[in-house]
A and B are shown apart, each in its own frame.
Chain A
Amino acid sequence: MSEFEPKIVGFFCNWCTFTAADLAGTSRLSYPHNIKIIRMMCSGMVDPKYVIKAFLNGADGVLIGGCWPGDCHYINGNLKARRRVAMLTEILKEYGIDEKRFWLRWIAASEGTMLREVVNDMTAKLKELGPSPLNREALGEKSEKAKMIG
């Protein structure tokens, strides 16, 4: 059986992490294709619903990328995001979604190399952790038990 390839949904802030991903690209730094990036205007725009929906639809990990504290384009959206992530982590943990699957990282626009490191790191850690209990496809339940959760 081929190696498990985790699916990661990335919610990246337009002003920092998304630009860092752009920088990684123009600098020809390659990073795993496991991450699917969604551009947000701010990490503070990531509604907990987006994260819940991603996990319910079988994402193995969710990565939110925001500006370092003090650098938010909207002054403090990233700090609100951090509180929300802390809150949501507690709820997800209650239902067996490990906090190792839900990351918030500060990645500045200039930190293309850090972006690569973070995505590499997260992909490797998720491979170790195995598929999310909600990734029914990877768990081989497609034919029988598979259905949309919710």
Chain B
Amino acid sequence: MANFTKLSFKKGELNQKLADLFKGMMEKGVVDALLAPMIQPKRGVMLTLVTDPSHLGALDPFAPVVPVNGARIASSITAKPSGRKTAMVLRSCEIRALVELCKLKQANLDDVLLIGMDCLGRYENLDFVKLRAEGQSSEAFLEKALAGNTESGGCDVSGACKICEFPVPDNVDLRLCAIGTGAEAVYLESLTPKGDKALEAAGLNTGETPAGREAAVQQLVKKRKEACDAALAQYRESTPSIDALEDRVANCINCYNCRVACPVCYCKECVFVTDTFRHNGDQYMGWADTFGTLKMPTDTIFYHLTRMSHMSLFCVGCGQCTSACPNSIDLMPMFRAAAQKTQGRFDYQAGRSHDEKQPLTVFENDELVEVTGQVK
């Protein structure tokens, strides 16, 4: 049984409506703190941790930008818990990564009221800043994007968002619904007892269900799935070999930004920055001697393939890797293609459920017999 609360707003007052909602929640003690996207004093929109509800005027959850995947932020706040009840407003890619981080013991949702929001995509950070400077509002974006058009001022949402099959977040207590809710209304949907309790404590009555929502969501998911299949097929066709992969990452300078931006690459010290990869001069000379030349820095393909083996089982396809690359290498399809295969092999889907064990953390005596093909 779905529990929806309708939040109607006047044109141009969506953020005000949401600010009032969260202000009420904080004042009534439903939560002590809120983590949500807020307009920054200088420029841009960033996740902001709010403990004083009088500052909520800058709230802007539907701003089409994700400067940092929020799973990382949620991990910073909850890995060593504060004990304070915190509502977190995050998108599907952030929540799916957060589910994986919880399994990896890098985050803890005990004190968290997780509020997922419908997402129609994010712009690259600089594009967003530019569009904002030109006066684009989140509401205007939402209206246009819901009608199927995300392009604006020569910019479009990121490639990852265009092929994201998860515009609607799962594994949340509350869901901020915008797809198929009609004009000038969003809905807050409760999905867990924790969510029910929060709605009740906030004094919000559940009532009408948004009629067009299910069909609208299904239609969008279908469109995105088709786009995803096409994009990955195109990637595989263009990059079928190591030779082609070298071509794709030819501009890579081993800065490892893709790994830093990746929400599920959680190691405190990546092996690629340890002494394992700080070779002796002799070693470099030896490699150079073998073929006469040695491209520096070395180990670029090695790094990308190793990263695939480390994170592809947890990859949620958020595309932060592509956004972080200083040399405009489109890494997202590379990692998504690997993820599709490795996750598929174990019938696993990153972020789908808290109960599914990560494939490399469990094993059975009688499984995967085809790997060795041997039966005793």
A17 CB, min distance to chain B CBs, angstroms: 12
When A and B form their complex, what is the total count of cross-chain residue pairs whose Cβ atoms lie within 8 Å? 117
A88 interface contact, C-beta 8 A? yes
A90 touches B345 (CB 8 A): yes
B240 CB, min distance to chain A CBs, angstroms: 6
A88 CB, min distance to chain B CBs, angstroms: 6
A148 touches B312 (CB 8 A): no
B42 CB, min distance to chain A CBs, angstroms: 41
Chain B, residues 278-319, CB within 8 Å of chain A (1/0): the string is 000000000100111111001111110110110011000000
**Which residues from chain B contact A84 at a C-beta distance below 8 Å?**
360
Interface residue range, chain B:
35 or more
Given known A-B contacts A82-B372, A147-B295, A48 and B309 have beta carbons under 8 A apart? yes
Given known A-B contacts A105-B374, A146-B291, A87 and B299 have beta carbons under 8 A apart? no
Chain B, residues 116-149, CB within 8 Å of chain A (1/0): the string is 0000000000000000000000000000000000
B interface vs A, CB < 8 Å? Answer: 236, 239-246, 271, 287, 290-295, 298-303, 305-306, 308-309, 312-313, 337-338, 341-342, 344-346, 359-360, 363-368, 371-372, 374, 376
**Which residues from chain B contact A130 at a C-beta distance below 8 Å?**
none
Q: Looking at the complex, which one of A80, A97, A103, A150 makes contact with B299 (CB distance below 8 Å)?
A: A150
Given known A-B contacts A91-B342, A133-B241, A104 and B371 have beta carbons under 8 A apart? yes
* Complex-state Cα separation, A94 to B287, whole angstroms: 27
A52 touches B374 (CB 8 A): no
* Complex-state Cα separation, A83 to B341, whole angstroms: 14
B306 touches A97 (CB 8 A): no
* Complex-state Cα separation, A52 to B298, whole angstroms: 14
A10 CB, min distance to chain B CBs, angstroms: 15
A53 interface contact, C-beta 8 A? yes
- 5 cross-chain pairs, A with B, having the tightest CB-CB distances, nearest first: A79-B363, A90-B341, A96-B241, A48-B309, A150-B302
Chain A, residues 90-118, CB within 8 Å of chain B (1/0): the string is 11011111000001111000000000000
